Each structure stands twice: as structure tokens, then as C-alpha cells.
Chain A
């Protein structure tokens, strides 16, 4: 049965729900927004109510952290009901200009940041980067991510990994500027048609490369490829998994030390959704002098930073404390010098929160690759 001919109830298996409330109970944004995802799952059963539901502002508060889906005892994905409602809005065209522009940019330029496709590999300038060619065998085919490729704040992730790869002699290659958005945020914004197109095009694109596996720099791409690209002909891993392999093989040697207290913030798309918890921690622990702390709410209980779910383009109406601020305050209370993350969105939200709270002097938010970059032998 095609998705179009299914009713909302069938498509999201609404009748499978027992209204236990574990979804809303676990939803991180309930402390600051009016969102009650369980009620949407309940109410979406009534077809005649859908238009009204889709107009509720809180459907845009969902960060797509997937906690509701991970915890659901019946295997449902409550957040997808919200995304389905978003899709109705997208369809009607009544969206925020920011969202419209981001989606249009993905369609035209292959990234949501309204940057030119031609500039996608500009970050490589001055670096000796191996570029992949279709059909030429390579072990690790890297997928950079739109945010890392264009945002100067997080470009260091890609740059440092190139330096590290060149140093370790790992067989790798990067894609040139033909690399196109994975569609993670397109999907969560509810642009189903565009997402379907991206899945089709990217699958065809990747399948032409004879790589053993795809290595993504962002957990969002990592999970999107693993979950939504059923026809991809190679496995997809996150770069922390690759580096952890190298670490265990003794191939990563750090120069210098970092006598700092580091607390790791689990990105939802890496931890809760991807099941990758230990690798980033192992990498941080390998930095000489570093002391790894843990948040009270870590790993499976990690708190979302509110960076996903299209939140980069939709401002929340709530004036209550942002979760990223809660996170930074918790880190401060722990006495952490560095909040380490493994996701470009987490860098942006947490750093913003840290600056807003005025902790810049005593604290730092850094992506793991930014930290490791300081210890790669020249």
C-alpha cells in the first residue's frame, strides 16, 4: 500500500497506541513548551480534526530527538505524527519564510544554508584532500554534512579529520562539491516530497562509488542514512566509530596534553538514535591529561539540545529556559572546563547558550574533532 492511499491512522499505526504516556513523559521539551505528543497521537485518529491539529503552533516545538520513539512500548514513532502534521502545513505552503528558504536552498543548491553548491568544498582549501571518484575502490568514503561544509564555526571538524587521516595513512576519500544534503532536516520539517527525492538521488549517487563504507561527520546524516535509506549498498558509520577503531589499533598518537575537565554531551542522533555511546568517550579519554566527567543525564538519559527537528529555522515561542542553557548550567555545576560534543548542531546550540549565560571566560564548547585537532602531530 502506498503512503498516499493510507489514512493517517494507518500510516502512523495510531491504533497500536495504548496512551501510556511514556512519549510525553520522556519528551524533553515539555518543561518549556506546551507540546503533548501523546495527545496528538490520540487526536489524530479523528480525520476531521487533522487540519486543526496541524495549525497548533506546538507541532514545531518537537526537536525530533526521537526519545518518544525509542521509549514507546508498542514500537510507534509518536514524533512522526507531528512531522505528518507539519507536512500538511508544508503542502499548504503556509510556512515561515525561513523554512521555505531553507527547503528551496536544498532543492536548488543541495544544502539548507542558502549557499552556492560550487562553494561546498571551499573548506578544503589549503588541505591535501583525497577526492573520491565513482568506481575507484576506497575504504572510507566521507560525507561532510552541509553545516560542517559551510559554517566556518564548525568547518574545523572536517579540516582536522583530513589532517588526522593523512597522518594515519587510512584509506579514505571525500566527495567533491557534488555532495548533496542527506535530508535529515528536510524530513523533520515535513517536506516529504523533497525528502523522497533526496533519498532516491543520494542512493543512486552513493551506490556508484565503490567504497567499503560511508563515514559521516554529523550524527544527523549518520542516522538519516541508516534509517531512511533502505537501498544504500554500503554501511554507514559515524566518524567517532572509525577513530575509535584506529585508537584501538594504536594508530592515534597525540602530541601534548589537555589537563582539563571535559564533559561529553550525547547528541540524540548519535546516542539515543544511533546507539553510539562509548566511542566518543573513548576518544576523549585518550587525550593525555583530560579528565572525563559525566552529566547526571547522560547516555540513554541524555537531554536534547533542541538543535534538531528543523529548529535551526523555526524559533520556539516559549520564553522559558532553553534546554541548551539547562545543559550548560549542569556542566558548570559539574565544574567542567569543556563541554565536548560530536555534532555540529549541538556545537551551535550549546555555544549559543554558553555565551548567553556569560560563561565564555571559564568554559568552552567544542566538537571532539576540534579538540583532537590540537593534538595531531604536525
Chain B
């Protein structure tokens, strides 16, 4: 680098975001006097077209070879300005951004102090900018295939879109059938279409689509690699049923010795199944699975003389010797669509969910009102031994949502509406029932939702504003202890049935997927998107996308929309067939590296390995960075004992003068 640095400094007003707290003109004036600075300017929105043109013109006319933009966090606009300076003919990595918004104007009130700090930050950036080196990013091929984890409505929709676009999709589902939570629902708000009717065709499509390889009852075990080139390892769990032979006739389940004794997951434990089972009649694939936890033969090694299922299966599909199978493949993008868990109502013991059978959750109500549910769609409860049709029914909203006492501060977004829908369905089934909904606020925000809420109220569903505090039993009745806050009346409301509008929680097993893909959580514990507004389906890891409730509570329309968004984002590398590899990666000085391996262990992206090289005739081990995997995070550099590994653009010789510049001022 023999060329003398000629730095341009561009201070952004960001409307009044910066200029209200930082005297931008004073900063520019100050910058103008810094060593190597040729020009310093301010502009209202530097990221705008005219703002960028300003920089480009200066590069061309004043021969700038380094650019400092003092504006926002580099997260959003670093790519904008890189592109701009490249267009003007200089290396895109000759850019240094000074964050005088998030780290200055937004967090300070005093303009004088804010301005002083902005000056300091700009001085430090100029010090570093002079020492930047030209870097080149590379391109590698991308595998035209996608992995989708989870086959609920989000995973199914994303799979269909990507497959329809002509790319290969591996759709991995943990349970024996696709369909997820939506398959359990009866009707869907606000239009009341039957959930199964609109979902089943999609389920069938994704099993028969020539571009979709459906792996049900399977789990992703390992993911290596990077965008465009992920290596995936999937465990297909043993079904103990030959997938090719099983005709789905159901003779096995009918004869199973523990028939009707195993709580059905699909029916929320209210219905019972056999050890060999199809989760629900419309399950896809329509192949039976033996549950190894409850099968007599698999748990005790003995089931009568011979397992009944084996005896009756005409297709000879039962195979107790079946083992898990490991499948490996390569994909260019991954969509995580792992869904949610309903809030566990027993975590609010004051509602007595664990004690009283007539306190049920919304999910249980879905099965209870469903014609294919455990009661054939009849809503009934037990009073002691006697089976009765409930006449006094209370719904409670916000159970496990908007509630710090259980650690969930967020609104679950679906409970207001599913409660309204269930109240409507019960009104249909029990016309003379007294139905009330205890609410805090009714959030009917979606298309057609407020209209539906209006309709439901007029069906003589009483909405009482108050969040119940306690439920206990008095005789045969459940007592809901609550205040009607609109009249300031404390009530002890006696009812036959309480339906808890339980919210949505991150899945209990989400840690597994997090570790697998190195995803982060937002404060609500759902998976964190790259940007809450502008990159809502991306993650911090390129090539990995989020869809559905794993990212936060969502209704079905939003889930489908997000799934389609994730599919379209995932298809970008697949369609291009190439991906760019970042240039700001770690680099090893092999001459000084001692091969200790510290960096290998510390790298969160498994981007470093030890290789053997010949050093003056001796075989020695040194670290080597896989540039495609490296994110330039710098962890290795911080850990390195001999300063041999350093990220490009963040080398000691670049950042130490930057730090020194910060300290040199008063």
C-alpha cells in the first residue's frame, strides 16, 4: 500500500435522529482537520440516492481512496455504502462506518457531549480507515436444494413453494405424520373453514410432489457447512413397520394388545390409541408406526405368544428388527419451521388445571368440538360420575400470555380469536348454554377478525372484562374468582366448564435445533430473526431462515405468509446457483502459528482446522481457516497466544490506532 490515503468523511443528519443531539456541522468541520482527510461533508440522509452520489462524485473528482461514513450502525447500511464506493471505482472494503446514531445520538441527551463523542468516534474511524486494505469476496456454487425442519403448515407451505419452483426439498418431520398443530384444529377463525379440509390437500401434495423428499418420523442430527453448501445428516427413526410394504389398512392397530390404552398425542391425551398407530385418520404418510415406549414386544421382549400386529398384517410389514437409518445429503438453504408448544396450564396452579378435569385448555377444546375428536364432537363434562352437557361455560383469555409471573410477557396473538371461535362453536352445539369470556383486552387485529368478534358477541356470548385469579371447586361447580373490572364487582362465578385460552410458547426441545444451527433467541425465547422489520425471516446465519411460530406466536394466515417469504428468500441462493463468501475473514500467519489449536476449539463456526505444513524441513501443525465458514467474528484472534490469527479489516495494526485515537482526546 504505497498510495497515500485520501479520506472523505461523510456525516449524516439522519433527519433529526442524529442532528438533534449531535452538531453534525461541527463534526464535519472537525473531521476536515484530521490527518489525511481531504473532504468532510454533511447530508440529511447519506443513504439516499443524492447522499450516495455525493460520495461517488467526491471519489471521482477528488480521487478519494478511503471513505468514512458517520451515520448509523453498519448492520443496515454498510452494504449500501460498500456498493456505492465500488461503483465509484474503489475497493468496497475501503469503507469505515462510524456509528454516531445507536451508539451516540440515540443514547445521549446533551448536545455538547453528544457532539464531542461523535468527534472522537470519527477521529478513531479516520485513524483506522487510513490502514484498511483492499479485500475481494469470492463466489462458490450453491446446491439447488433446501432442507425444511418441521412439517406443520409453515413447513408444508414452504416445501410446496420451493418444490413448485423446481428445486429439491428435504422435508424433515419429527413425528410420524405431517400436519402439525393445524391438523389438530377443528375450524379456523374467522372464516370457520374446517382446518382438515384446507390442510389435508396440502399434506397429500407434499407427500406426492416429485421434488419433495418427505422424511417423517425423522430428526436432523447434524448440519455442517455454510450457505449454498450445507451438509445435513438425518436420522430416520425405526418405525418397526416396512414403509414400502405397509398399506395403512389398520388391521394391526385394531388387534394391538394395548389398544385404546395409550393416550393419543393428537387428541391431547383425551383419546386413546394402540402402540402401533396412525396419529390421526388423515395422517400423511398413511403408514403405521410402532411406539417403542408403549409396545409390549419392544419394551418387554414379549407380547402374548406372538405380537398380534405381526400375526394380522397381510402385507408382512411389521419388522421388529428395523433400525434407525442415517441419511446424508447436501442443501443450499435451510428453513426452520419447528412450531410451538401450547402453554402448560399446570404452571398456573391457581387455575387448578392439574386438579380439575373440567378445567381444560383451548387445545383440548379443539379436539372436543371436532367431529373426528375423542367424543365425536360432543361437548360433555363429568360431574362426579355423571356425564352432563355443560350449561355454564367460562373462557379465560391470556393464560400464560402477557404474564410476567410465568415469564411470558408477550401476547400470543391467537387466543382472543380462537376463544371467540370456540365460543361460537359451543353456541352452535349447546344453544342454551351461558357462555362468558373473561378478557383483559380483545385483540382482533387481523382481516375479518373484529367483524367476527362482533358476530360472536351478538350470539349472546358475554364478554366480561377481568382476568380471573383463581379457580376452586364448590360442590359440583367450579368457582371462578374474578373481578368484573368495568363495574368493579368481585365475583365468584360458578360454572361447569372452564376453557383456558392458553398461549403459545417456544418448544421445550428448541435447544436441540438452536445448537444444531447456532440460532439465537429473542427475549421472548422464540428464535431471533435478523431484523424485526426488514429481515423478518432471515437469521444471523446466512442461508438459514425461519417460518411460522418458531419465530413468535402467529395465526395461520401470518404463518403461511411467513412460510412463503422464507421459501422465496431460501430460493435466492438456489436460483442463482452461486453464493458470495464474505471477505472479512480470519487469516493465519503460518510462520508464527504454533498449532496449539486454541482457535480451533473456540471458533463458534467450526471454521478452523489444524493442518500439517512443512516449515524449514519440519512437519508442523498450523491453523487454517475455511473462508466459506468464517464469519470474521474475531473470537480466534482474541484467544490466540501468538497473535497469529487475525480477521481481515480488524487486524491489530488497524484497530490499535483506532483505539489510540479514542484515548488521545480529552
Partner-B contacts on A (CB < 8 A): 18-27, 30-31, 36, 38-39, 67, 70-75, 296-297, 299-301
Within 8 A of A (CB), among B449-471: 465-471
A25 in contact with B405 given A18-B440, A36-B488, A301-B352 (CB within 8 Å): no
Contact between A38 and B467, CB atoms less than 8 A apart:
no
Q: Does B173 reach chain A (CB closer than 8 Å)?
A: no
In the complex, what residues of B have CB within 8 A of residue A70's CB?
A: 405
A74 in contact with B404 given A296-B472, A300-B350 (CB within 8 Å): yes
Contact between B402 and A25, CB atoms less than 8 A apart:
no
Q: Does B473 reach chain A (CB closer than 8 Å)?
A: yes
Contact between A25 and B403, CB atoms less than 8 A apart:
no
Contact between B404 and A25, CB atoms less than 8 A apart:
no
Shortest Cβ gap from B37 to chain A (Å) = 44
Interface string of B399-439 (1 = CB under 8 A from A): 00011110000000000000000000000000000000000
Shortest Cβ gap from B127 to chain A (Å) = 40
In the complex, what residues of B have CB within 8 A of residue A297's CB?
A: 472
Contact between A25 and B349, CB atoms less than 8 A apart:
no
CA distance A75 to B402 in the complex (A): 11
CA distance A300 to B350 in the complex (A): 6
CA distance A27 to B472 in the complex (A): 14
In the complex, what residues of B have CB within 8 A of residue A39's CB?
A: 488
In the complex, what residues of B have CB within 8 A of residue A26's CB?
A: 350, 469-470, 481
Within 8 A of A (CB), among B321-355: 349-350, 352
Residue of A nearest to B465 (CB): A21
Apart from A24-B490, A74-B404, 12 more pairs, CB < 8 Å: A20-B440, A20-B467, A21-B465, A22-B469, A24-B488, A38-B483, A38-B488, A70-B405, A71-B470, A72-B405, A296-B473, A297-B472
Contact of B350 among A24, A36, A71, A296 (CB under 8 A): A71
In the complex, what residues of A have CB within 8 A of residue B467's CB?
A: 20-22, 25, 73
Shortest Cβ gap from B407 to chain A (Å) = 10
A21 in contact with B485 given A30-B490, A36-B490 (CB within 8 Å): yes
Shortest Cβ gap from A144 to chain B (Å) = 32
Contact between B472 and A25, CB atoms less than 8 A apart:
no
Shortest Cβ gap from A36 to chain B (Å) = 6
In the complex, what residues of B have CB within 8 A of residue A72's CB?
A: 404-405
CA distance A67 to B481 in the complex (A): 12
Q: Does B124 reach chain A (CB closer than 8 Å)?
A: no
Q: Does B253 reach chain A (CB closer than 8 Å)?
A: no
Q: Does B492 reach chain A (CB closer than 8 Å)?
A: yes
Contact between B349 and A22, CB atoms less than 8 A apart:
no
In the complex, what residues of B have CB within 8 A of residue A19's CB?
A: 485
Q: Does B398 reach chain A (CB closer than 8 Å)?
A: yes
Contact of A301 among B404, B472, B474, B491 (CB under 8 A): B472
Contact between A25 and B440, CB atoms less than 8 A apart:
no
Q: Can you list 18 A-B contacts (CB < 8 A)?
A: A20-B398, A20-B440, A20-B467, A21-B467, A21-B482, A21-B483, A22-B467, A22-B469, A24-B490, A25-B490, A26-B481, A36-B483, A38-B488, A39-B488, A70-B405, A72-B405, A73-B398, A75-B404
Contact between B483 and A24, CB atoms less than 8 A apart:
yes
Residue of A nearest to B349 (CB): A300
CA distance A209 to B622 in the complex (A): 58
In the complex, what residues of B have CB within 8 A of residue A75's CB?
A: 404-405
Within 8 A of A (CB), among B466-510: 466-474, 481-485, 488, 490-492
CA distance A72 to B404 in the complex (A): 8
Shortest Cβ gap from A273 to chain B (Å) = 13
Contact of B469 among A18, A23, A31, A36 (CB under 8 A): A23
In the complex, what residues of A have CB within 8 A of residue B490's CB?
A: 24-25, 27, 30-31, 36
Shortest Cβ gap from A348 to chain B (Å) = 25
Partner-A contacts on B (CB < 8 A): 349-350, 352, 398, 402-405, 440-441, 465-474, 481-485, 488, 490-492
In the complex, what residues of A have CB within 8 A of residue B472's CB?
A: 296-297, 301
CA distance A20 to B486 in the complex (A): 10
Residue of B nearest to A299 (CB): B349
CA distance A24 to B486 in the complex (A): 12
CA distance A343 to B440 in the complex (A): 36
Shortest Cβ gap from A67 to chain B (Å) = 7
In the complex, what residues of A have CB within 8 A of residue B482's CB?
A: 21, 25
In the complex, what residues of B have CB within 8 A of residue A73's CB?
A: 398, 402-405, 467
In the complex, what residues of A have CB within 8 A of residue B485's CB?
A: 19-21, 24, 38
In the complex, what residues of B have CB within 8 A of residue A301's CB?
A: 349-350, 352, 470-472
CA distance A44 to B490 in the complex (A): 20
Shortest Cβ gap from B189 to chain A (Å) = 23
CA distance A67 to B405 in the complex (A): 12
Shortest Cβ gap from B476 to chain A (Å) = 12
CA distance A67 to B398 in the complex (A): 18
CA distance A29 to B468 in the complex (A): 16
In the complex, what residues of A have CB within 8 A of residue B492's CB?
A: 31
Contact between B469 and A25, CB atoms less than 8 A apart:
yes
CA distance A21 to B470 in the complex (A): 12
A25 in contact with B473 given A30-B490, A31-B492 (CB within 8 Å): no
Residue of A nearest to B472 (CB): A297
Shortest Cβ gap from A140 to chain B (Å) = 30
In the complex, what residues of B have CB within 8 A of residue A71's CB?
A: 350, 405, 469-470
In the complex, what residues of A have CB within 8 A of residue B468's CB?
A: 22, 25
Shortest Cβ gap from B18 to chain A (Å) = 30
CA distance A39 to B466 in the complex (A): 13
CA distance A26 to B473 in the complex (A): 15
Interface centre among B465, B471, B484, B488 (most CB of A within 10 A): B488
Residue of B nearest to A74 (CB): B404
CA distance A24 to B489 in the complex (A): 9
In the complex, what residues of B have CB within 8 A of residue A24's CB?
A: 483, 485, 488, 490
In the complex, what residues of A have CB within 8 A of residue B350's CB?
A: 26, 71, 300-301
The 4 A-B pairs with the shortest beta carbon distances in the complex, nearest first, are: A26-B469, A25-B469, A21-B483, A30-B490
In the complex, what residues of A have CB within 8 A of residue B491's CB?
A: 25
Shortest Cβ gap from B457 to chain A (Å) = 20
Residue of B nearest to A72 (CB): B405
CA distance A22 to B469 in the complex (A): 5
CA distance A36 to B486 in the complex (A): 13
Interface centre among A23, A24, A25, A301 (most CB of B within 10 A): A25
CA distance A73 to B407 in the complex (A): 9
Shortest Cβ gap from B470 to chain A (Å) = 5
Shortest Cβ gap from B501 to chain A (Å) = 13
Shortest Cβ gap from A16 to chain B (Å) = 9
CA distance A8 to B100 in the complex (A): 37
CA distance A27 to B489 in the complex (A): 12
CA distance A30 to B466 in the complex (A): 15
In the complex, what residues of B have CB within 8 A of residue A67's CB?
A: 469
Shortest Cβ gap from B489 to chain A (Å) = 9
Residue of A nearest to B440 (CB): A20
Shortest Cβ gap from B348 to chain A (Å) = 9
CA distance A297 to B484 in the complex (A): 22
In the complex, what residues of A have CB within 8 A of residue B352's CB?
A: 301
In the complex, what residues of B have CB within 8 A of residue A18's CB?
A: 402, 440-441
In the complex, what residues of B have CB within 8 A of residue A296's CB?
A: 472-474
CA distance A27 to B492 in the complex (A): 11
Contact of A25 among B441, B474, B481 (CB under 8 A): B481
Shortest Cβ gap from A368 to chain B (Å) = 22
In the complex, what residues of A have CB within 8 A of residue B398's CB?
A: 20, 73
CA distance A310 to B590 in the complex (A): 75
In the complex, what residues of B have CB within 8 A of residue A27's CB?
A: 469, 490
CA distance A154 to B471 in the complex (A): 33
Residue of B nearest to A25 (CB): B469
CA distance A30 to B491 in the complex (A): 9
CA distance A297 to B349 in the complex (A): 11
CA distance A31 to B474 in the complex (A): 15
In the complex, what residues of A have CB within 8 A of residue B483's CB?
A: 21, 24-25, 30, 36, 38
CA distance A73 to B350 in the complex (A): 13
